[in-house]
Amino acid sequence: MRPTHCSLRSLLAVLLIACLSLPALADEGMWIPMLLQRNEADMQAKGMHISAKDIYDINNACLKDAVILFNQGCTGEFVSPEGLFLTNHHCGYYYITSHSTVAHDYLTRGFWAMTREEELPCPGLTATRLVRMEDVTAQVLEGVSADASELERSQLIDEHIAYIISQATQGTHYRAIVKPFYYGNQYFMYVNEVFTDVRLVGAPPSNIGKFGGDTDNWMWPRHTGDFSMFRVYVNREGKPAPYSTDNVPYQPKKHLEISLKGVQEGDFTFVFGYPGTTHRYVTSDAVDLAANVQNPICIDLRTIRLKHYNNAMNRNAALRLKYASRVASIANGWKKWQGESQGIARLKGVEQKQEQERLFQRWADNNNEYRDVLTKLHNAYTQLRPLQERAVYFSEGVHASDFMGTAAKLFQLATTPDSLAQRHADETSYAYEPTDVDSAIFIETMRYVMKHNPQWGFAVAHPTEAQATEELQRIYHSSRILNKASLDSVKQHVAQCDQWLNDPAVDLYSSALDYAFTADQQHERRRLNVDINRLMRTYVRGLMAMYPDSNFFPDANLTLRVAYGHVSGFHPRDGVYYKPYSTLDGILQKENPDIYDYVVEPKLKSLHYRRDYAPYADENGAMPVGFIATNHTTGGNSGSPVLDADGRLIGINFDRCWEGTMSDLLFDPDYCRNICLDIRYCLFIIDKFADAKHLVDEMTLIQ
C-alpha cells in the first residue's frame, strides 16, 4: 500500500530503525502465563523477586490457582482458604442491585454478611478457575491447507476443536475451550473448572464503592473504593455444584497473601487477570474507522440517552435504582470512546500506523507471501467503512430505546419460521413499560439517525425536524406495543404474529432494517470481516517474520494474562504532573453533600477525623486509597489482582486513566496507566468502616 521509492541505502536505514523500534515495547503487553518463561528475565530485571513458575505451573499450586474469571467479563482473586474472593464493586454491581429494594437498599447502604448464613446466593453467577492450558495449534491446524477457503478451514478447525475438547475433558468435571491467537496463527486450549454456587459476602455503600460515579470514571486522581466480596461454595466432594444449602465453602489450591507494605513510585507490579479484547495489530484504516467513524456516532447517541436517564434518576430514588446498572454501562463506553478517540488524535495514531505500514511494505515488496496483504486490507476496509457506519447507526441508534427493542423482538417473531417463533414466544418477554424517559429517548435518537441517514426512506418521507418529530410521536402513541393486553396475547397467538408487521413501530423497525441490514449488506459485511480476519492472519505473521527478535504478545481474548510494569505517575498535559497515589484526604476534598456521587458517609468522616486507620495507614499516617501503574490492561481486567515483586496482593485493578484509553489500539508508555484500589483501603473499609473484621481475619496479611 502507498509504496514509495527510495534508494537501497535509505531502505536499509529505515529497516534498521524499524528493527530497533518495534521491540521497544516498554511496559506494553498482555502475556500468556504458560509462556511466561520468555518474559522472566525481563520481569526480574524490572524488579520481580519470584519466578515465572510461581505464577503459572501445572504441577504445583501457583498464583494462577488464586485467579478466577468472574462471569464472562471480570476477574476475581481468592484471599482466604475458605473460598472468599475479591472483585470490583462494579463487577458485583448487578448482583448487589438485584438483591436491593428501596427498603433494603444494599446498593446505597452496602451489604455485609456477618455470618455465612447471611451470604446471598447469586443465581447465574459463575467463577471459573483455569486448571491448565496447552498449545494445540498442531492438532487444530492439522490438514488445513494454505489454499483452503475460510469456510473449509473453519469447518475442519471446528471438528478438530470438538475432538480435542472431548479428549481433554472426558471423565472429568472440567470444561474446555480452544481459542485462536494472532488471528488464527496459533491455538490454545484452556481446561477450566466452573463454579456455580457463588454468594455475595460484602459490598461497600455506593458512595464508597462507586464514589465519584460516572464523573470520576476513567479518571485520575481517583478515590473509588471499587471492591466487593463473594464466596465460592462446592458440594461435599469439593466439586462445583449448583446452589444448595448443603454446599460448603471451597478451599482453593492457593489464595493470595496480602502485603500491607504499600507501594512506592517505581515499584515493580503485575496484573494477573482476564483482559477481554484489544486490537494491537490492526491497520491505519481500522484505527481511523474506530476513532473517527464508530466512536463519534456512539458517543452522540449515548449523550442523548444519558441526558434523559440522568434527569429521571436525579428526580426519583426508585428510578435511580431501576436505571443504575444500565446507565453505568452506557456511560462507561461513552466516556471511554471519547478518551480513545482523543488519544488516537493526540498520538497521530492513524499516521503512526501508516508509517508502520510503509516500512512493512518495503520489506514485503520482495516477498510473495506478504506483498499484497496491505493493499488487500486497505481495499477491504474501504468497502467495509460505509457498511459499518450504517450498522453502527442501527445498532446504537435504532436500538437505543426499549420501545424499539420491543419492536425488534416482535419483528423477529413475525418474520421467523414457526418453530423459532414458538421458542421465542415461550422464552422472550415482550413486556414494554411506557415511560416518558423511554419515549423521549426513542424520539430523539431516531431523529438523530434520520438526520445522519438522509437517504433512508423514512427520513426522505419526513425531511424536516418538525415532521420527523410529529411522525415519531404518532408512531409511539398508536403502536400496540403500549397496550399490555395485546402484548400478553403474543404468546397465545403465535400463529397470527405476522399481524404485528402492520404495527407502526414494527413497521418503522423493519424500514430501518431494510435500510441498514438488507441480506446483501449483511452478506457483504460478513464476507469482508472474514476476509479481514484472514488477511490479518497473514499480516501479523508477516510482522513476526519482519521482526524475528521481538516477542509479540497476542491480542486480549478473555484468556488469562499477565501484564507487568511499575507504579508510576504521568504528565497528562503541559504543566501538570499526576502523582501515582491518592488518599482519603482527597475524598474529603471532593465531598459534596448535594451530589449523590460525592456524598461522604458520616462514619467514614469520623474515622478520618480521628485518623483511626491502624494498621492500614501508610508511613506518613495517611490512608491510601488508589494508585496507578504502567500495566497494560483492558476491560475484563476489572477486579484483577495487582501484585508486588513477591507475588503478594497490593491492589485491585479497576480502571484505566482517560488519557490512555487508546491502549486497546495503541499503547503509549507516557500516558497509559491502569488504576488500582490500594488493598489497604479495601481492608480498612471492611474492618473499620463495616465492622466486618471476621472477613479480614480469614485473610493472610503480611506486615
Cα 50 to Cα 604: distance, rounded to the nearest angstrom: 37
Q: Taking CB under 6 A as the rule, does residue 214 contact ligand ARG? A: yes
Contact status, residue 17 vs residue 6, Cβ threshold 8 Å? no
Q: Taking CB under 6 A as the rule, does residue 284 contact ligand GLU? A: no
Cα 412 to Cα 291: distance, rounded to the nearest angstrom: 32
Cα 23 to Cα 40: distance, rounded to the nearest angstrom: 16
Q: How far is the CB of 272 from ligand ARG (least distance, A)?
A: 17
Could you identify the residue written with the cell 403500549? 482
Q: Taking CB under 6 A as the rule, does residue 217 contact ligand ARG? A: yes
Q: Taking CB under 6 A as the rule, does residue 90 contact ligand ARG? A: yes
Query: Residue type at 561?
Result: R
- CB-wise, 434 or 586, nearer to ligand ARG? 586
The site partner of 213 among ligand ARG, ligand GLU, none (C-beta below 5 to 8 Å per kind) is ligand ARG
The site partner of 633 among ligand ARG, ligand GLU, none (C-beta below 5 to 8 Å per kind) is ligand GLU
Which residues are CB-neighbours of 657 under 8 A, at least 6 positions away? 218, 219, 220, 570, 572, 578, 628, 671, 672, 673, 674, 675
Residues 494-553 that bind ligand GLU (CB under 6 A): none
173 as an active site residue: the answer is no
Q: Out of 332, 352, 356, 415, name the contact with ligand ARG by CB under 6 A.
A: 332
Q: How far is CA 297 from the centre of its chain?
A: 20
Q: Out of 174, 337, 564, 654, name the contact with ligand GLU by CB under 6 A.
A: 654
Could you identify the residue written with the cell 516500512? 359
Whether the bond into 615 is cis, omega within 30 of 0: yes
Residue 295 burial (C-beta neighbours within 10 Å; 0-12, 13-18, 19+):
buried
Q: Taking CB under 6 A as the rule, does residue 655 contact ligand GLU? A: yes
Q: How far is the CB of 663 from ligand ARG (least distance, A)?
A: 12
Q: Taking CB under 6 A as the rule, does residue 331 contact ligand ARG? A: yes
Q: Taking CB under 6 A as the rule, does residue 655 contact ligand ARG? A: yes
Report strand pairing: 257-259 vs 641-643.
unpaired
Report strand pairing: 127-135 vs 175-181.
unpaired
Q: How far is CA 350 from the centre of its chain?
A: 23
- CB-wise, 1 or 331, nearer to ligand ARG? 331
Q: How far is the CB of 211 from ligand GLU (least distance, A)?
A: 15
- Pick the catalytic residue from 89, 90, 308, 632: 90
Backbone angles phi, psi at 669, to 5 degrees: -60, -20
Q: Taking CB under 6 A as the rule, does residue 661 contact ligand ARG? A: no
Residues 57-76 that bind ligand GLU (CB under 6 A): 74
Q: How far is the CB of 73 from ligand GLU (least distance, A)?
A: 7
The site partner of 214 among ligand ARG, ligand GLU, none (C-beta below 5 to 8 Å per kind) is ligand ARG
Residues 71-110 that bind ligand GLU (CB under 6 A): 74
- Pick the catalytic residue from 638, 664, 668, 687: 638
Cα 596 to Cα 327: distance, rounded to the nearest angstrom: 15
Q: Taking CB under 6 A as the rule, does residue 489 contact ligand ARG? A: no
223 as an active site residue: the answer is no
Taking each helix axis from N to C terminus, what angle separates 317-346 and 349-364, rounded to the nearest 10 degrees? 50
- CB-wise, 121 or 635, nearer to ligand GLU? 635
Q: Where are the beta strands (DSSP E) in 443-580?
A: 561-566, 570-573, 576-578
Q: How far is the CB of 440 from ligand ARG (least distance, A)?
A: 22
Q: Taking CB under 6 A as the rule, does residue 637 contact ligand GLU? A: yes
Measuring CA to CA, how many Å separate 543 from each of 281, 349, 368?
A: 9, 18, 14
- CB-wise, 189 or 229, nearer to ligand ARG? 229
Cα 218 to Cα 90: distance, rounded to the nearest angstrom: 13
Q: Out of 110, 624, 635, 651, name the contact with ligand GLU by CB under 6 A.
A: 635
DSSP state of 181: E
Cell numbers found for residue 518: 438488507
Residue 74 burial (C-beta neighbours within 10 Å; 0-12, 13-18, 19+):
buried
| Residue 369, SS3 per DSSP | coil
638 as an active site residue: the answer is yes
- CB-wise, 137 or 638, nearer to ligand GLU? 638
Site string for ligand ARG, 602-641 (x = CB under 6 A): ---------------------------------x--x---
Site string for ligand GLU, 615-634 (x = CB under 6 A): ------------------xx
Residues 175-194 that bind ligand GLU (CB under 6 A): none
Contact status, residue 200 vs residue 92, Cβ threshold 8 Å? yes
Catalytic annotation, residues: 90, 226, 638
Q: Which residues bind ligand ARG (CB under 6 A)?
A: 90, 210, 213-214, 217-218, 328, 331-332, 635, 638, 655
Q: Which residues bind ligand GLU (CB under 6 A)?
A: 74, 633-638, 654-656
